[in-house]
Amino acid sequence: MKSSKRSLRTKLIVGAVVLVVVLGLLPAYIHAYTLSGPSDAPTLLLGDQVWVMRGAYDIRIPYSDRVLLTRRQPSLGDLVQVASPEDGRLMFKRVAALPGDRVAMYQHWLRINGKLVEYAAADAAAFRSVSPENHLGSVIETEMLGSCPHLITFTPDSAKNSFAEVLVPPDHFFLLGDNRDQSQDSRAWGPVSLQSIRGRVVGEPHRP
C-alpha cells in the first residue's frame, strides 16, 4: 500500500515538473503579437493579433537565436516573422520567392522564373470601413503564390511598383509586404537569410 502511494506521489511530482517545463518553454516557440504597422494590410490590419509558430522551420535553443535543428524551409506564400536586416526589429512579410528562383516585379505584378503570378481583382468596396491609418492603396487584388491566395494592395505608378529580376541565393528568401507601397522589404534589403526568419504566422485573419 505504501509502495503504491509512493509511486503515485512520484508520478504526480514528475507530471508537475513536466507541466512547469512545458509552460516555461511554450512562449519560446509560440507567441502572440499585436499589429502596430500597415505593411501587411489588408491581410493584417492595425490592432490584429496573430500567433507566430517559432518552431515552424527550425528548433532553436529557447530564448536564443542558436539553431539546434532545421525542420523545413519556408514555402512560397508563407507569411513569416523576420528580423529586419537593418535594425533587427521583428516584422511580418510574405515569402515571394525561394532559393534559386528568379523574381521580378513590373507594375506591382510579380514574375517568378519568367512566369507571371496569377492575380484577380478583389472588391475594394468591402474595405471602405478599414481605418485610413492602414494606408490601403487604390487597388486591392488577390495574389496566388504557390497554393496560397492572399490579398495585396497598391496604388498604380507608385514609386515601389517595379524592380529588375533578382536571383535568390541558396538559403535565402525574397520577402514582400502585402501592402506593397507601405512595406520595407527585400526590395530594399535584398533576399533574406533563413537564419533571419523566426517563424510562421498561423491562422491568418480572413478578409473579404
21 pLDDT higher than 50: no
User: 73: closest CA among 56, 97, 51, 85?
Assistant: 56
15 pLDDT higher than 60: no
Region of 124 (left: φ > 0; alpha: ψ -120 to 50; beta: rest) is: alpha
- Name the one residue in this structure whose C-alpha cell is 510562421: 200
1 is written with which cell numbers?
Answer: 500500500
Q: Side chain identity at 80, as an amino acid letter?
A: V
26 pLDDT higher than 60: no
175 pairs with which residues across the strands?
95
Measured distance CA(110)–CA(105) in Å, rounded = 4
In contact, 79 and 43? CB cutoff 8 Å: yes
Measured distance CA(18)–CA(155) in Å, rounded = 52
71 is written with which cell numbers?
Answer: 525542420
pLDDT, tens digit, 9 for 90 and up, residues 68-111: 667 789 999 999 999 999 999 999 999 999 999 999 999 999 99
Q: What is the pLDDT of residue 67?
A: 67
Measured distance CA(122)–CA(24) in Å, rounded = 43
Helices (H) and strands (E) in the chain, counts: 2, 16
Measured distance CA(55)–CA(189) in Å, rounded = 24
Measured distance CA(158)–CA(160) in Å, rounded = 6
81 is written with which cell numbers?
Answer: 516573422
- What residues does each domain of the chain span? 30-202
User: 183: closest CA among 94, 103, 71, 61?
Assistant: 94
Average pLDDT of the chain to the nearest whole number: 85
Fold of the domain spanning 30-202: Umud Fragment, subunit A (2.10.109)
pLDDT, tens digit, 9 for 90 and up, residues 175-184: 999 999 999 9
